[in-house]
Amino acid sequence: MSIGKRSVAEFVGTFWLVFGGCGSAVLAAAFPGLGIGFAGVALAFGLTLLTMAYTIGPISGCHINPAVTVGLAVGKRFPGSEVIPYVIAQVAGAIAAAGVLYVIASGSPNFDITGGFASNGYGAHSPGQYPLLSCLVAEVVLTAFFLIIIMGVTDDRAPKGVGGPIAIGLALTLIHLVAIPVTNTSVNPARSTGPALFVGGWALRQLWLFWVAPILGGTVGAGIYAAIFGHAEPAPATKKAAA
């Protein structure tokens, strides 16, 4: 399939990830008396990835995350020449989703963009007031393990079947359960960029961390998997699970 069609799939997938995940945080997490809380937001992110892995996995591999795309390229699972088109599509999808979410959320009389709009941050803008170093380490380690899991379940030595997307979706859920109090959870530069553009100010000033740390973590994770477990091309039946 052409790079154009695969990039469109990445746009759609990233849109759904940001709209569903960040939407749950902005619209449902703090709803008076009925909010879904951290666990609900974590599950929402996992479900968006899980559903898109089955939907666009056979088309684009369902990376929907620049850190995943870069990591898979480092791990020799994805051609380096296609990284930039994928990343552009992912960031565009995230921005579009944040724009639609803003239109919806701003209709509430209680909407306040200074509340963060699901942006990621450190220091005073970390949900738990965690400093830069804590946030950096969390994002690097969690993204590294995310890549290790992705590369493991899409390895041609992994059990065949439909379980790959489930494992990857659950991994993202677990990552959010750990990291929401620390950084509001990025592990995805595109996801961080969309909301930050609407918040501006501090969110844009701190955005650099949520590009550097996830991409570094993805690179480290892919390198660890390749070095320890060896490189194996994903079989055609499992490529669709590469989310």
Tens-place pLDDT, residues 108-128? 998 999 889 999 999 999 999
pLDDT band at 238 (very low <50, low <70, confident <90, very high): very low
Q: 240 is written with which tokens?
A: 């669709």
DSSP state of 159: P
Domain that holds residue 235: 3-239
CATH number at residue 187: 1.20.1080.10
Q: Residue 241 — φ and ψ, nearest 5°?
A: -85, 0
Q: What Å distances lie between residue 20 and 9, 27, 67, 85, CA to CA?
A: 16, 10, 19, 23
What was the pLDDT predicted at 156?
83
195/231 Cα distance (integer angstroms)? 36
3-state secondary structure of 125: helix
What is the rounded average pLDDT for all residues in the chain? Answer: 92
Q: Which amino acid is at 188?
A: N
| pTM greater than 0.85 | yes
What CA–CA distance (Å, rounded) separates 25 from 46?
13
Q: Which residue has the tokens 């069609």?
A: 5
Q: What is the pLDDT of residues 23-58, one digit of tens each?
A: 999 999 878 777 899 999 999 999 999 999 999 999
Task: Quote the pLDDT of residue 159.
Answer: 78
Over 80: is that where the pLDDT of 152 sits? Answer: yes
pLDDT at 232 exceeding the cut of 60? no
pLDDT at 79 over 50: yes
- Categorize the per-residue pLDDT at 231 as very low, low, confident or very high, splitting at 50, 70 and 90: low
What is the spatial distance between Cα 144 and Cα 131, in angstroms, rounded to a whole number?
A: 20
Q: What is the DSSP letter of 121?
A: -
**Does residue 84 carry a pLDDT above 90?**
yes
What does the pLDDT read at residue 237? 37
- The reported pLDDT for the residue numbered 115 is 85
**99 against 240, higher pLDDT:** 99
Number of domains comprising the chain: 1
